[in-house]
Amino acid sequence: MRSLLIGIAGLLLPVLALGAAVVSAPDEPRAPVVKPTKKASPRSARLKEVRSPVDEKLYPAATRAAEKPDDADAQAGYAILLAQKAREVGNAAYHKMAEVAARRALERNPHHDLALSALAVALLGQHRFEDALTLLHSEKGPVTVWRLACETDALSELGRYDEAVACAQRLVDLKPGPQSYTRIALLRELHGDAEGALEIWSRALACGERTGIDFAWSATQVGDVQLRRGNVETAQGAYEQALEALPGFYLARLGMARCCVARGALALAESILSGLAESHGDVATLALLSDVQRALGHEEDADATVEAMLQGEAFSASQGAPDPRGLALYFADHDRDTARAVMMMKDAGGPTVANEDVRAWASFVAGDLAAAREHARAARRIGSRNPLVLFHAGAIELRAGDTEEGRALVEAALAAGLRADLIAAGRARELLSGVKSARARGA
């Protein structure tokens, strides 16, 4: 079929979902516990286990897997449902559980296709992209949708974008449909073609029913694209569609909170994010919540939220599911532990747009302007128009003395969706005000 990757741009996620969590049977480990400190608020004491649609199948599957430990089909079926749970609720613990179940199945049948697919998704969900790629290349099975989808995801998340594009094209040539369209849309936006991404997202949304995780996830991605373009109302409509398809979907709720931030409705944003913190206390959610709380003057709540975030991330890291990029960005944004942020990003993964952007910002805040410029240029090498990437690059160029380039980049970021980022938007306005004042003094 005609290439869908012409003028490509986007960002991609794995076949069942990155950053998801494995459903646990009642006698299995629950969601991670965040131990409270003196400052911690009650909501940070324990992450609630979240019910989701897959539970109806997952719990019986867990029972079957426990009763039939030597049955590869039972173990693989349980693993794939754990991956689905991870996608629905966004808890990395479920990916760890899915890996265990998938490996049990493969011990009984090394070529079990469902178990291989579940293992690949579990590795991707734990951000073990090299391991996932090694698995895919070592298993010389037939060319299938799930293999190409997972390979595209791994390549993209390693920053090997040319290879990811080629793999995604093979995927859509093999089978046009939701799994190929979503990856193409993500890749298109990553390369700066938001309009093209939205066109492909519309194809993905039209492929199935308007219910369940597939529609909710795709609709949320549409909301994210629109929010990054500064179209707040359109983004909110997309998130509402996602929540109609899957009530309570955490990514759509996070998107709604960001819309509230962009509109200045901080009290409502705090309410949404506080609910998310109880069930999905990841770095991004808690960092945004703490920023909103400080903007509202709730300093003690903000301190407690940050403490819960740091404890939760330490626990996640101890379980093999760290988020060094998210934590490094928080440190850089708040001029805190900047040397640690730089060190964290050295081992945070390949030269992806997101990784290079955070490396640039951490280096900048730590005072290494040369490294900051190098990483900022790397972040923009394939044409990304992500407003945060543009803002960071603009701030760095202004510090380097390139006033015109820096001003243009910061203005472009603000004209897009930067206002959904409370910290970055405020700093961008301050920078532009400073440029204007400097010009007035020089006139």
Listed residue (188, 178, 361) closest to 344, CA to CA:
361
Q: Which amino acid is at 112?
A: H
pLDDT at 340: 96
Q: Which amino acid is at 259?
A: C
Q: Which domains does the chain have, with CATH numbers?
A: 323-443 (1.25.40.10)
> Who wins on pLDDT, 34 or 355?
355
Q: Are 72 and 11 in contact (CB under 8 A)?
A: no
Tokens matching residue 28 = 């299995």
Average pLDDT over residues 379-403: 97
Q: Which pLDDT value is given to residue 135?
A: 96
294-316 residue pLDDT tens? 999 999 999 999 999 999 999 88
Residue pair 138/129 in contact by the 8 Å Cβ criterion: no
Q: Average of pLDDT values for 242-248?
A: 96
Rounded Cα–Cα distance for residues 429 and 235 (Å): 23
Contacts of 168 (CB under 8 A, 6+ apart): 5, 12, 148, 152, 180, 183, 184, 187
Query: What is the identity of the amino acid at 153?
Result: D
pLDDT of residue 363: 98
> Dihedral through CA 242, CA 245, CA 246, CA 248, nearest 10?
50
3-state helix, strand, coil in the chain (%, to 5): 70, 0, 30
The confidence score (pLDDT) of residue 132 equals 97
Tens digit of each residue's pLDDT (9 = 90 or more) over 147-185: 999 999 999 999 999 999 999 999 999 999 999 999 999
Entry field: residues in the chain: 443
Q: List residues bridging with 10 in a β-sheet.
A: 187
Q: In the predicted model, is pLDDT for residue 259 greater than 80?
A: yes
Residue 106 makes CB contacts below 8 A (sequence gap 6+) with: 72, 112, 115, 116, 119
Q: Among 120, 117, 89, 68, which Cα is nearest to 24's?
A: 89
* Residue 287 token pair: 């960092």
CA distances from 76 to 13, 107, 108, 138, 146 (A): 22, 11, 10, 19, 15
Tell me: pLDDT of 401 over 50. Answer: yes
The pLDDT, as a whole number, for residue 316 is 85
- Percent pLDDT > 90 in the chain is 79
Reference 219, options 243, 197, 196, 195; nearest CA is: 243
Paired residues of 268 in beta bridges: none
Q: Is residue 426 within 8 Å of residue 292, measured between CB atoms?
A: no
Residue 412: the pLDDT is: 97
